[in-house]
Structure 1
Amino acid sequence: MSDCERVDRNRGKSRPSSSLTPPILQTSWVSSSFATTAMANAGDGDGSKGWPENAEETWKFYSMQAQTLGKRALSSTDETIEVARNQMKQLTDASSQYFAAAQGYAARAQQEYNYYESLFFKKLKEGVHTAAQNPNATCGVLGVTTILALRTSRRMLYRYTIGRFQNEQALLARAETKVKEMRQTVDLLRNETKKLEERARLAEEELLRGRSKLKNSGYQLRNLSRSAYKTESAARGLKDNLVDLPGRESIRLRTEVAAMTSLAKQHRKILDKRVSKIAGYGISV
């Protein structure tokens, strides 16, 4: 056999393999994988023997499957990109709308602030101008405001205006209730004063051993002295209110309130002396 005949036979053996290969298998990795599997199952490995009659149909089937998978992958990718693009566009539009609305609200708030600020300063300037043009009225208003700011003047004003329209029986009943409350407070104050005086005396005797106890007693005495001062002030106010009430009952109540005021003042002085004595030992109260 000559060399030319051997070359022709070799070409003939390799021709079926190349003729059955479709063009798409040269560029598709998925189709090449399917083709390699089919060749391994069909032939004996030399590429020229053992091919079935429907090999070309098998190649076409695998090629169509590869093309379908490729198209699906491309379409899925395109759809995903399109959805993401739409979402980004919607988000951008919504952000622009919210930003524009926020700018509108900020501009409106700035306008409102500028309006009320200018109105406030305008009214202030008008008030200063009016006060400068009417010094007598300004002095009168300041004087009335100062008088009303004082507690005694307010009480007198209430007594001689609104207090005159109140019922006398209601005033007496209210005064009687307050007198009972004052009596209970004074009795409680008397009992507490006796107890605290005894505790203060015992604390003085035990100064070296019970310095903290004496300090606590001093705090309690100071608080009780403040309570006595408040009670005394309230009794004075009640006495002033009873001055305008006519009748013997009001006189009796004024006498009783005066006695309770004096007693509260006496106990307050005793408490203050005790506190001063405790402070003299070098204990801060």
Structure 2
Amino acid sequence: MKRKTIFFGAIIAAAVVAGASLFYFLYLGNPSRQALARVNEEKITVKEFNQELAKLEDPLRQMYREEPLPFLEGMIVKKLLLQEAKKQGLSSSPKTYKDVTKDSLPPEEMLIAELMKKKFGSPPEVTRKEVESFYSLFKDQMKGKTLNEVAPFIEQMIREGKQRQQVEQFVRELQSSAKIEIEQGRLRRIAVKPPESNSEEDFKKAIGSGKPVVVDFGANSCIPCRQMRPILKEVERDYSGKTHVLVIDVYKHQDLAREYKIQLIPTLIFFDSKGKEAFRHVGVMNKEKIAAKLKEIGMAL
């Protein structure tokens, strides 16, 4: 009898554990219920985060997968603006059949636009003195144009700058009065590992290998640098054994970046078979031009 009691007790315990696990995975573990942040008790879930992220194009989307916090902070600001719009009793203008085009804004963005229109409908004033001060400060960059010629352009720049400051101040006020909670642990768990880069040791081995080398001095946080990665992978694949293709992160290897006087990224530096710099290019470079340059500096065909 005692054995039966223990046996049934074990079955019941296992069922409870299985039920709890099932509840977690089907309910609490569901991305639509997992909160990444709470803004005045309103959730931003993992599912919502992924849906918004999916609207972006690579490499920006992948960059935010690696560093999700800035994107989440943008979603928090959007949530605050929507809450403020609803608090003020605003509603987006109803659409007619003439308004339904591929370029029309989604309802939430239309609501935010209504809030911005109400809050900042009147453009900030720009005085003549401000225009004159700006012109005096940047006169050397005006290419000989007179104040009267560039005054409208300067006035617009100053006005847009003031508008940005007003919006930023408004957002800061909303943030300071809001209750914002970010689930840092969950945010870390959804982050993906950034792509690997080469080490200083890899660099020294490559330029001493007796083969031509192309080195991309860049960073994972730089969009043009990330655009170069698939191009460089193709070059490495197509010319395997004939050349070395490296990626050096300028933030991880600042000494190398200083040694080669890297000022802008991405900077591609081509080294000949003797390890001497033969050519450099700032910005994105296509596969054909990279291959042509490698052949020019001695890559075997």
TM-score (norm 1): 0.26
More strand by share: 2
Which structure's relative contact order is higher, taking Cα pairs within 8 Å and 6+ residues apart?
2
TM-score (norm 2): 0.25
